Amino acid sequence: MLETGLIVHLLVVITIYGILALSLNLIIGMTGLFTMGHAAFFGIGAYASAILTKLGVPWFFSMLAGVVLAALVAFLIGIPTLRLVGDYLAVVTMGLGEIMRAIFKNWISVTRGPMGLPGIPHASIFGINFNTAEKFLILSTICLAIVFIIAELIIHSPFGRVLKGIREDETASQALGKNTYRFKMISFVVGCGMAGMAGSLYAHYINYIDPTSFVMWLTFFIILIIMLGGLGNNVGALAATTVFVLLREGLRFVKLPEGLNPAALQQLIFGLLLIAVTIFLPRGLIPERKVVYPRKSGGSDDAQN
């Protein structure tokens, strides 16, 4: 783990979680695919990147491998599941999460199981070694920016429009000639690949990973973030990420009665919060921005309001 002050650390965590939130927002928020396995892809990216760099592969290519591997697994899972009702994807990705965790825990020859992988090399490109938190923050912020730009470009593209249509009504989208399976697959694969990128960043920041980092609770936490931030709204997702990372950090300092398990308490609070948000704020705090088109030039009457 890189030595650092608290603020820089929190900022790094925010950028990494931010990438997770944006990628999940693409899958759930924009396309309406309920995936419960995001932590699995986070883990795939982390382990792949960690293992490869420890074998001497340069960081950039290891990260890329992590992204590709995560995307590939997403593709394989998607083949049977994306043609079926949404509930299937939810439970299958849940199961995938557990399968991956079992692999991380039990494939000892490769992942060292519960002992984890220590001594993960620092990230480095072109000789620049990101061995301090401040330097790493620059790297992770750049990655976040790239992901944000891609996510925003997608939202504002005709491709994104079809995704929203699928979210709203897949049957109608099919009636309009859209091969919804293909669109869903692309969205799912891209989103999971991005999660893999986040995983790689995580591994090279903490320099140690073990199976306990990739539990379903993480997926749940990200879902909570994007639900509160507003499904389909990327700025909202980032804002919510900041809020929740800080909130979670703040909870660490709250004095708890003796013997009360802080992790369990966190789970309880956030669980209740998610229920409340889903019932009372289904569109999140910051709803999707309405897309307004101007009148074409030369239009006579009605002004656009």
Partner 1 sequence: MLRIEGLTKNFGELCAVNRCSFEVAQGAIQGLIGPNGSGKTTVFNLITGFYQVTSGKTFYKGRDITGLPAYAISQAGIARTFQLVRVFRRMTVLENLLTGPKEQAGERLLPGLLHTPRVHRQELEQLDRAWDLLTVVGMARMANEICGNLPYAELKMVEITRALMSDPELILLDEPASGINPTLVNQILDYIRKLREERGKTFLVVEHDMRVIMNLCDRIVVLNYGEKIAEGTPAEIARDRGVIDAYLGV
Partner 2 sequence: MEILAQLLINGLIAGGTYALAAIGYSMVYGALKFINFAHGSVAMVGAYFVFGLAIGRLHMPLVPAVVLSMLLTALMGVIIERVAYRPLRGAPKLAPLTTAIAVSFVLDALVMIVAGADIKTFSLPTQRGYEIGSIFITPVQIIIIVVSVIAMACVYVLMNRTKLGKAIRAVADDANLAEVTGMDSDLVISAVFAVGSALAALAGALIGLDTNLQPTMGFNITVKAFAAVVLGGLGSVPGAIVGGFLIGVAENLGVWFIPPVWKDTIAYGILILMLFLKPSGIFGKKEEAAATVL
Q: Which residues bind partner 2 (CB under 8 A)?
A: 28, 32, 34, 36, 77, 79-88, 90-92, 94-96, 98-99, 102, 105-106, 170-171, 174, 180-181, 216-217, 220, 223, 227, 231, 260-261, 264-265, 267-268, 270-272, 274-275, 278-279, 282
Question: Site map for partner 1, 186-215, x if CB under 8 A?
Answer: x---x-------------------------
Closest CA to 154 of 269, 49, 26, 253: 26
In the numeric block, the tokens 């382990």 are attached to 47
Identify what 106 binds: partner 2, partner 1, none; CB under 5 to 8 Å per kind: partner 2
Residue 171 or residue 300: which is nearer to partner 2 going by CB? 171
Identify what 186 binds: partner 1, partner 2, none; CB under 5 to 8 Å per kind: partner 1
What CA–CA distance (Å, rounded) separates 168 from 54?
A: 45
Window 123-162: residues binding partner 1 (CB under 8 A): 150, 153-154, 157-162
In the numeric block, the tokens 């593209």 are attached to 157
Residue 208 beta carbon to partner 2: minimum distance, rounded to whole angstroms: 23
**Is the separation of the CB atoms in 157 and 28 below 8 Å?**
no
Residue 114 beta carbon to partner 2: minimum distance, rounded to whole angstroms: 11
Query: Would you put residue 291 in left (φ > 0), alpha (ψ -120 to 50) or beta?
Result: beta
Q: Does 305 interact with partner 1 (rule: CB under 8 A)? A: yes
Window 233-292: residues binding partner 1 (CB under 8 A): 288, 290-292
Q: How many CB atoms lie within 10 A of CB 28?
A: 23
Q: Does 29 interact with partner 1 (rule: CB under 8 A)? A: no
**Is the separation of the CB atoms in 27 and 33 below 8 Å?**
yes
**128 sits in which H/E element:** strand 128-129
Residue 273 beta carbon to partner 1: minimum distance, rounded to whole angstroms: 24
**159 sits in which H/E element:** helix 158-168
**Is the separation of the CB atoms in 19 and 194 below 8 Å?**
yes
Identify what 102 binds: partner 2, partner 1, none; CB under 5 to 8 Å per kind: partner 2
Window 161-180: residues binding partner 1 (CB under 8 A): 161-162, 164-165, 168-169, 171-180
Residue 28 beta carbon to partner 2: minimum distance, rounded to whole angstroms: 7
SS (H, E, C) 233-294: CHHHHHHHHHHHHHHHHHHHHCCCCCCCCHHHHHHHHHHHHHHHHHHHCCCCCCCCCCCCCC
First to last CA, the chain: 54
Residue type, 249: E
**Is the separation of the CB atoms in 120 and 204 below 8 Å?**
yes
Residue 168 beta carbon to partner 2: minimum distance, rounded to whole angstroms: 8
Residue 178 beta carbon to partner 2: minimum distance, rounded to whole angstroms: 11
Residue 156 beta carbon to partner 1: minimum distance, rounded to whole angstroms: 8
Residue 132 or residue 174: which is nearer to partner 1 going by CB? 174
| Site for partner 1, rule CB under 8 A | 150, 153-154, 157-162, 164-165, 168-169, 171-180, 183, 186, 190, 288, 290-293, 295-296, 299, 301-302, 304-305
